[in-house]
Structures are given as structure tokens and as C-alpha cells.
């Protein structure tokens, strides 16, 4: 009997010995507590983004709303995603006090991630395509981040290689966007949008229009609409896709193997592959929008509002106006909500440069005139 008790004691000691090696160290736990406190405090200081009513008299029974995601501290919709990705890494135990954070990005997500990396005093490196907007690179550096410029097709593999080389953590927005954002929880973009619509004439939008970069935003909105089908069953999700992007073809054919040989000119949206975070089953419709219309819409919106926004917002506006015209033609009253993705200061040398546009075979004066005429008709 004594021998059995001794053996039992040895077994328990062995278990406890191994357990003590695996448990989170006190120093790491203190750091984690401090990090989460900083992120929550930063969020608590931030007001929600505005929902603006956009007057368009030619469609009097269709009310259009713009949710202004450019008012986040880092100036874009990607601020929400960056916070979610950082929290996802922290809560999964992937990020510690000395972790190098690595991301593959066309710019805006990296700007926002650099902001949060600085908040946590962590080094951040963005692997970005060559010819990314110089202004975005400046903003990444402004928050203490570094960049590695590579060919667009290599950003995924190079980001993973760099993370492996440094023993860091690859945030991987294109895979983790849809899982990092909890569409059932408070303060996601979907819940915010619907709360802001509650007092409007048509509180349940007929359409919500977004672009797709990672696919995370359309996944959040589409899932939330289904989750709250008791209230929002009539709301549909439309995703607009630019030139040189394969989301549309992937959605149309239900085949995720499509590839594009060149990158999208509409920074922040459109991808040369169907990203893992794009959930086509929660999207009701997709529209393919030529780039020249997206750039013209961005210029037109600047004239209408006095504010410059990025070309991905122009993409959203094009799709929104097309749907508004359809509803108007069908004598259908209702509302459409779309997003202002980011501000235009990042695109002074691209979207708002006639020289750059001309080098991409876009005569913006001609396209803007055609766009205005199309709206009238």
C-alpha cells in the first residue's frame, strides 16, 4: 500500500513539474494585462464613425447613407481590422512582449497595424507591393513601422518567410480577417451600422454595398444579417469588384482557384486570388466595376462633398448608384448603405494625379464628364 502511494505521489509530482513548465509566466501575464488595457482604453477614447445621409434628388425614394470609416484614428476602415487581428494574436497566445509583427498589405491595413504595434511597443514590418502609394509608406513609418517592397505576387510568401526568419508572428489579414472579427459581439461594423439606421425612414437597408480586399467586411456584414434575420431579413449584401481582381469570377463560378496576372489599381480592394477570408455564401450579389468609373466616382464625390476619399470609396459609390437606379426604375422605395473606406490624402500621387491616371490610360476629365452624364440619365 505504501509503495502504491509513493508511485501515486511520483505521478502527481511529474504532472505538476510538466504543468509548471507550460503555464504562462508572471512577467508575460503582466505584459498581456497591460497590452489589453492599452487597446481597450484606446477603443474607449474613440467615438463611433459617423453615418452620413447623402442627398441625391434624382432618386427621391432611395435614401443613400455613407458610413465614414475614414474618421478612425488611422484614417481608414482597416483600423477595425487591425485591432481585431492584434487582439486575435494576443488572445491566441501568438504575440508576446518581444514579438516581431509582420503583415502582407497593400498599405492601409499596415498603417493601422503599425499604429497598434506602436501602442504595444512592438516592432512591425509590412511586406508591400512595389508601387504602393508613397503616402501610405510615409504613414507606416510615422507610426514606427518598416516596409519591405516586393513583387505583388510575392507578398504572402515573403511575409511568412520574414516572420519565420525573425521568429515573429505573421498577422495574415487575408486568412484571419473573417475569423478575427466576432460578428456577434458588440461594436462590430454591422451592429454599429444598424443601430445608426434605427431612426431612419427605411431602417433596414435594402442593400449594403462594400468592396472586398480580404473579404472580412462582407463576411462580417453577411453573417450579422443572417444572425439577425429576425429583424433584417430583407437586407442584402452587394460586393463591388474592380478590374484585375478575381473575387467576381470566383463568386460567379463558385471556384476559388481563379488567379489574376496583375494587381488591382484600386488600392485596398481587389485581389489576384480569391482570399481565404472571402465567404461567398453570405454575399447576395457582386458587381464588376471598371476602374475608370471608380476613379471618376471618387472625383465626383470630392466635388459633391468637398472631401477627398480613396478610389475604393469610388468603387462603392459606383455600385451604390447603380443599385439606386435599379430601385428607382422599379419604383422601389428604400435605403442603401455603403462605406467611405479611407481619406484621399493617401492618393494624391495616384487617384488625384492626372499624370498618374494618364499613365494608366485614364482621361479623368473625359471619364468624370461621362460619369456625371450617366447619373443624370
Query: What tens digit of pLDDT does each residue of 133-172 get?
Result: 888 999 999 999 999 999 988 999 999 999 999 999 999 9
Q: In the predicted model, is pLDDT for residue 1 greater than 80?
A: no
What is the reported pLDDT for 47? 77
Is residue 101 within 8 Å of 82, Cβ to Cβ?
no
Domain 79-177 architecture: 3-Layer(aba) Sandwich (3.40)
Residue 308: what are its φ and ψ, rounded to 5°?
-95, 130
Is residue 318 within 8 Å of 282, Cβ to Cβ?
no
pLDDT band at residue 32 using 50, 70 and 90 as cut-offs: very high
Query: Running DSSP on this structure, what letter comes out for residue 273?
Result: B
CA distances from 216 to 38, 149, 247 (A): 24, 24, 13
Q: d(Cα 233, Cα 8) in Å, to the nearest integer?
A: 60
Share of the chain above pLDDT 90, in %: 83
Strand pairing class (169-170; 101-104)? parallel
Q: d(Cα 159, Cα 136) in Å, to the nearest integer?
A: 18
Provide CB contacts within 8 A for 312, sequence distance 6+.
211, 213, 266, 267, 268, 269, 294, 341, 342
Q: Which residue has the higher pLDDT, 253 or 187?
A: 253
End-to-end CA distance of the chain: 95
User: What residue ranges do the domains of the chain occupy?
Assistant: 45-75+184-376, 79-177
CA distances from 135 to 25, 107, 129, 318, 350 (A): 41, 9, 14, 25, 10
What is the reported pLDDT for 7? 64
Q: In the predicted model, is pLDDT for residue 301 greater than 60?
A: yes
Q: For 194-216, write each residue's pLDDT tens digit.
A: 999 999 999 999 999 999 999 99
Is residue 188 within 8 Å of 182, Cβ to Cβ?
yes
The helix/strand count (H/E) of the chain reads as: 15, 10
- Cα dihedral sign, 154-156-157-163: positive
Is residue 85 within 8 Å of 171, Cβ to Cβ?
yes
Q: For 285-295, write each residue's pLDDT tens digit.
A: 999 999 999 99
Q: What is the average pLDDT across 17-45?
A: 82
pLDDT band at residue 81 using 50, 70 and 90 as cut-offs: very high
Strand pairing class (334-340; 207-211)? parallel
Q: For residue 101, list its beta bridge partners.
A: 124, 169
Is residue 93 within 8 Å of 116, Cβ to Cβ?
no
- Cα dihedral sign, 308-309-315-318: negative
243-248: long-range pairs with CB below 8 Å, 24+: 243/270, 243/290, 243/291, 244/270, 244/272, 244/291, 245/212, 245/269, 245/270, 245/271, 245/272, 246/271, 246/272, 246/273, 246/274, 247/212, 247/215, 247/271, 247/274, 247/278, 247/286, 248/286, 248/287, 248/288
Q: In the predicted model, is pLDDT for residue 237 greater than 90?
A: yes
Q: In the predicted model, is pLDDT for residue 4 greater than 70?
A: no
Strand order, beta sheet including 169-170: 146-150, 124-129, 101-104, 169-170
What is the reported pLDDT for 183? 81
Q: In the predicted model, is pLDDT for residue 24 greater than 70?
A: no
Tell me the longest C-alpha to C-alpha distance in the chain: 95
Mean pLDDT of the chain: 92
pLDDT band at residue 72 using 50, 70 and 90 as cut-offs: very high
Task: For the chain, give the number of residues.
Answer: 377
pLDDT band at residue 10 using 50, 70 and 90 as cut-offs: confident
What is the reported pLDDT for 18? 62
Q: In the predicted model, is pLDDT for residue 303 greater than 60?
A: yes
Q: What is the average pLDDT across 248-261?
A: 95
For the domain spanning 45-75+184-376, the CATH number is: 3.40.50.1100
pLDDT band at residue 352 using 50, 70 and 90 as cut-offs: very high
Assess whether the region 45-75+184-376 and the region 79-177 belong to the same CATH fold: yes
What is the reported pLDDT for 234? 95
Per DSSP, the three-state class of 129 is: strand
Q: For 82-131, write each residue's pLDDT tens digit.
A: 999 999 999 999 999 999 999 999 788 999 999 999 999 999 999 999 88
What is the reported pLDDT for 342? 95
Is residue 65 within 8 Å of 52, Cβ to Cβ?
yes
Report the predicted TM-score, pTM, of the whole model to 2 decimal places: 0.90
Amino acid at each position: 500500500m505504501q509503495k502504491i502511494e509513493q508511485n501515486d505521489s511520483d505521478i502527481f509530482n511529474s504532472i505538476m513539474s510538466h504543468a509548471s513548465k507550460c503555464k504562462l509566466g508572471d512577467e508575460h501575464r503582466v505584459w498581456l494585462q497591460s497590452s489589453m488595457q492599452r487597446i481597450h482604453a484606446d477603443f474607449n477614447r474613440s467615438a463611433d464613425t459617423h453615418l452620413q445621409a447623402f442627398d441625391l434628388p434624382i432618386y427621391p425614394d432611395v435614401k443613400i447613407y455613407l458610413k465614414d470609416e475614414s474618421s478612425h484614428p488611422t484614417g481608414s476602415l482597416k483600423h477595425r481590422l487591425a485591432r481585431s487581428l492584434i487582439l486575435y494574436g494576443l488572445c491566441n497566445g501568438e504575440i508576446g512582449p518581444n514579438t516581431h509583427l509582420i503583415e502582407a498589405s497593400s498599405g492601409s491595413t499596415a498603417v493601422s497595424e503599425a499604429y497598434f504595434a506602436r501602442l504595444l511597443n512592438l516592432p512591425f514590418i509590412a511586406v508591400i507591393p512595389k508601387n504602393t502609394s508613397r503616402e501610405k509608406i510615409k504613414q507606416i513609418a510615422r507610426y514606427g513601422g518598416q516596409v519591405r517592397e516586393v513583387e505583388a505576387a510575392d507578398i504572402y510568401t515573403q511575409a511568412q518567410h520574414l516572420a519565420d526568419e525573425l521568429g515573429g508572428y505573421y498577422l495574415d489579414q487575408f486568412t484571419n480577417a473573417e475569423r478575427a472579427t466576432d460578428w456577434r459581439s458588440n461594436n462590430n461594423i454591422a451592429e454599429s451600422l444598424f443601430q445608426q439606421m434605427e431612426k431612419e425612414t427605411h431602417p433596414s437597408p435594402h442593400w449594403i454595398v462594400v468592396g472586398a480586399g480580404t473579404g472580412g467586411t462582407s463576411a462580417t456584414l453577411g453573417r450579422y444579417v443572417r444572425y439577425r434575420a429576425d429583424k433584417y431579413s430583407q437586407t442584402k449584401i452587394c460586393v463591388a469588384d474592380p478590374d484585375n481582381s478575381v473575387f467576381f469570377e470566383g463568386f460567379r463560378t463558385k471556384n476559388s482557384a481563379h488567379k489574376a496576372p496583375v494587381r488591382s489599381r484600386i488600392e485596398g480592394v481587389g485581389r489576384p486570388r480569391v482570399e481565404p477570408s472571402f465567404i461567398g455564401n453570405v454575399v447576395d450579389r457582386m458587381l464588376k466595376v471598371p476602374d475608370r468609373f471608380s476613379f471618376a466616382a471618387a472625383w465626383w464625390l470630392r466635388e459633391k462633398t468637398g472631401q477627398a476619399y480613396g478610389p475604393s470609396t469610388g468603387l462603392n459609390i459606383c455600385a451604390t448608384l447603380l443599385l439606386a437606379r435599379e430601385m428607382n426604375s422599379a419604383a422601389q422605395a428604400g435605403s442603401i448603405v455603403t462605406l467611405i473606406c479611407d481619406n484621399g490624402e493617401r492618393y494624391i500621387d495616384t487617384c488625384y494625379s492626372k499624370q498618374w491616371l494618364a499613365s494608366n490610360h485614364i482621361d479623368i476629365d473625359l471619364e468624370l464628364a461621362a460619369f456625371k452624364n450617366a447619373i443624370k440619365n
